[in-house]
Every structure is written in structure tokens, then in C-alpha cells.
Amino acid sequence: MTDPETNMHHHEGQDARIRLQKSLESLKSSMADLNGKQRQPNPQEIPQPISQDYRKLLTTLVFGIPIEIRSPRPQEFFRRRPDPSYSTTMPLIQLREEKKYYLVDKTLHENLKLDLQLFDLVTCINHSGNVFLWPVRLSDRRGQQDPWLMGMKQALSKAEDQWVRMVRKSSGTGYEIRVSELDDQPEWPDMSYEELVITAFHDYYINDLNHHVVKALLGRK
């Protein structure tokens, strides 16, 4: 005879999976809208790609693969996933000193518009098999591209079919792109882009004005 508590957890797990599936379907639809927009849309016009209950869902259903939100490290070779469906434009808040990125719910865009910035969120993998999402800014605050950004885009282009590494130039401006002799192919996890994004932003999603990051940015108690 099945334990009632076991039955309860079983049904809760099923319900969580159903809600997660609906969340992913909504995310996929929103990302289709994102990809159909101009490359430099107004942050307030970007549809919010992740449902607000995803944090609860992920505590019940964990994908099991940690996904970092970061730039490539100076001494690692990496590849980018060439499939265009594995990158899109996202409105993020970057905390430079902490080297952290937060996805902001659409309802808070107006409150945080001075700190929101658009990034291309690109799926990458290093040679050790660790997947990460690289936030690449579209431009600087003046809408211009500096040598650093041009170097990032050059690296991303080469990384579609080669293992590359980004090294700061000795001049102190921009990157030198080094290509590895390695020719093995990356082993990408069997996860959709939506799943990667939801997993990565599990602890980095702002949907409440009482969030500690919002309080710090707005100078609130």
C-alpha cells in the first residue's frame, strides 16, 4: 500500500513538471518575439521571457547541470553554440564589482531603467565541458562599439567552429584572439535554450521591489 505522504510528493512533482512545461512554452513564445525585433529594442518593449513562478518550480525539478552567467575566463578556450536559437537579447542589470547579472521582470523595467542594459545572452562551453551563458553588451551607453566589444564579437565569430581564447592586448585596449590547435567537437548538454536560461537565472531573477539588489540601487532601506 502506498504511503499517503509519498502520493502527495508524487502529485506535487507532477504538478511542478506541468507548471514548468507551461513556463517553458511561454518562454519559447516570448523568445520568438525577441528574435523578431530589431537588434537594439527599447528595454521596456521586450517581453518578459520567464514566468514569475519559475523559482518555485526549479526547487522541485532541478536540471542537475550548473549554468554560470559570465564572460570567458582569461585562460580558458571556449566555443559558442552556432545555432541562432541559443542566443537572444535580454534586459539585464550588471553589478560590475560583484561580477553578477540579474534578469529583471518586465513590471520593474520603469523603476530600474537607469540600470537596465541590453545584452546578447550567448550559449558557450569551455574545453572542460562546462556550459555558461555569456552576456555580451550590444553597445556602450552612447550606442557605440569600443575595441573591447569588437574583440568580443570577433571571438564569438571564430568560436562557432574553433576553440578560442581571449587575451587582453599588451596595449591595454581590446583583446587578442588565440585559436587552439584542438579540433575536437564540444559535447553540448541535451537542454533547450529556455532551460539553460531558467537554470542560470535561478538565483538571479528580480521580480520584487524588495529585492536586495533593487534596494541597493534605489538607496532604500
Q: What distance in Å separates the CA atoms of residue 205 and residue 211, rounded to the nearest whole number?
A: 9
Instruction: Give whole-number Cα distances, 42 to 37, 45, 61, 72, 152, in Å.
Output: 10, 5, 34, 27, 23
Q: Report pLDDT for 20.
A: 44
Range with lowest mean pLDDT among 43-47, 113-117, 144-148, 171-175: 43-47
Residue 72 CB partners (closer than 8 Å, separation 6+):
78, 124, 126, 132, 134, 155, 165, 166
Q: Is the pTM of this model over 0.85?
A: no
More confident of the two residues 217 and 30: 217
Residues 28-65 have pLDDT tens digits of 444 454 444 433 444 444 444 444 455 444 443 445 67
C-alpha cell at 45: 518593449
DSSP assignment string, 94-137 = EETTTTEEEEE-GGGTTTTTTTEEEEEEEEEEETTS-EEEEEEE
